[in-house]
Amino acid sequence: MKEKSGAKKTSLRELPKISDRVSFIYVEHVKINRGDSAVTVTDSHGTVRIPAAMLGVLLLGPGTDISHRAVELIGDTGTSIVWVGERGVRQYAHGRALAHSTKFLEKQARLVSNSRSRLKVARKMYQMRFPNEVVSSLTMQQLRGREGARIRKVYRLQSKKYKVPWTKREYSPDNFEDGTAVNQSLSAANVALYGLVHSIVVALGASPGLGFVHTGHDLSFVYDVADLYKAEFTIPLAFEVAANHEIGDDIGRITRLKIRDSFVDGKLMARIVKDIQYLLDVEAEDELLIDILALWDDKEKLVKHGVSYKENS
């Protein structure tokens, strides 16, 4: 038998927890390959080795070439790959999940498929934004109104704090440079946050598209979860960047570096995992990495796979 080159595939139990990983790394105009258990990133300045198992998400910008062997390693270690636009402000595609269990996905699908349970989860999301209020009797329309008022207040406060003029959230996905400095920074910061949340959602085995507040988009649940943290992370950071930089500066890069620094301690990643578990009523100790495959049966819950079944058996 031909020997395989490179390091042995890491078992699921050997992989670092999500909260122990670096949040994300953005690269553009580089070549990515594999060197044993690391991905190698090469540009005109030289080559950097990055342990794949320690990465939460790898954001691939324009001009990036990645080898099959690098993708193989990244898939084995559960690192999410997200292909993004220039400066990381658009998301085009993503890679696979870390979890081999469908526990999160099944629970999410059950909750979102029933109007009553879906409303309950949506209310929990809003309750996390209004910890000092009782929202259990409010309709979705009332909750949206309160959330809109809360976010407008956050914008006004940050505008006053950093002395940055603010009118409204306004941006064009096709023309990043057309926005004001604060709107450019908000776009870049939010996409970085979406990438981080997306990597955790798929790492847990949940669906990015089965949202409770947002709906009809393949990232609806990502937007649901990301909205829990914007007032704390991306909005204040965007006004800070706009207060210290002008149009013409590389707002996207400056924002990404700052938002990365705010994620680097791993506390937000651990918090996102905990919050998703809370929202979906999944116990923290439940096993997510069990490599089990079974067949569904309409009379029994599950039956063994890999068996050649006979009629009426």
Chain-wide mean pLDDT for the chain? 80
Give the annotated binding-site residues for Mn(2+). Answer: 147, 214, 227
Does 199 or 94 have the greater pLDDT score? 199
pLDDT at 211: 95
Which residue carries 């704090």 as its tokens?
A: 161
Q: Tell me the domains of the chain and their CATH numbers.
A: 12-94 (3.100.10.20), 103-279 (1.20.120.920)
Alpha helices by DSSP H, listed for the chain, are: 68-76, 103-112, 115-129, 140-162, 181-203, 220-226, 234-244, 251-263, 267-279
**pLDDT tens per residue, range 226-281:** 999 999 999 999 999 999 987 778 898 899 889 888 877 768 888 898 899 999 99
Cross-strand bridge partners of residue 214: none
Q: Tell me the pTM.
A: 0.69
Q: How far apart are CA 53 and CA 210, in angstroms?
A: 27
Please determine, for residue 287, whether its predicted confidence score (pLDDT) is greater than 70: no
Give the annotated binding-site residues. Answer: 147, 214, 227
- 24 neighbors 195 (Cβ within 8 angstroms): yes
**pLDDT tens per residue, range 12-32:** 344 445 555 556 678 888 999
Residue 307 banded pLDDT, cuts 50, 70, 90 = very low
The lowest-confidence range among 2-11, 154-163, 202-211 is: 2-11
